[in-house]
A and B are shown apart, each in its own frame.
Chain A
Amino acid sequence: MVITPPSKVAVSNPKIEPLGLHHDRAAFLCLNQDLTDYMRDGRALKEAVQRDTSVYVCINEEKPTQIIGYFTLAQGQVSRDSIARGMYGNDWRSSSKFRNKIFSKFPRDFINATILGKLAIHSDLKGQDFGEELLGKALAMALKGADIVASKMVYLDAIHEKVVPFYVRAGFQRTEDGSLKMFLLMDTIASGK
Chain B
Amino acid sequence: MLNQRQNSRLSGVSLDSSRLLPNTAPRPQLMPSTASSSKSYCLAASSERIELTPDEAKTLGEALMKPAPKANAHLTKILKNASKW
- Which residues of chain A have a CB within 8 Å of any CB of chain B? 13-15, 74-79, 81-87, 89-90, 101, 105-106, 110-111, 113, 115, 132-133, 135-137, 139-140, 152-153, 155, 169-171, 173-176, 179, 181, 183-189, 191-193
Contacts and interface: CB of A to CB of B under 8 A. Distances in A.
A170 B62 CA distance: 20
B83 to A, nearest CB: 7
Given A75-B47, A83-B61, A170-B72, 18 more contacts: A74-B48, A77-B49, A82-B43, A83-B58, A86-B52, A86-B57, A86-B60, A132-B81, A139-B79, A139-B82, A170-B74, A173-B63, A175-B52, A183-B63, A188-B71, A191-B68, A191-B71, A192-B70
Given A15-B85, A188-B68, A82 B63 contact: no
B57 A78 contact: yes
Contacts of B82: 133, 136-137, 139-140
B79 A83 contact: no
B52 A76 contact: no
Contacts of A84: 61
| Interface range for B | 35 or more
B1 to A, nearest CB: 37
Contact of B79 (A85, A136, A173): A136
Interface in B8-64: 30, 33, 35, 41-43, 45, 47-50, 52-64
Given A76-B48, A84-B61, A181-B52, A110 B68 contact: no
B85 A87 contact: no
A178 to B, nearest CB: 10
B2 interface: no
Given A140-B79, A189-B79, A82 B52 contact: yes
Task: Pick from B50, B76, B80, B85 the residue with the most CB of A within 10 Å.
Answer: B50
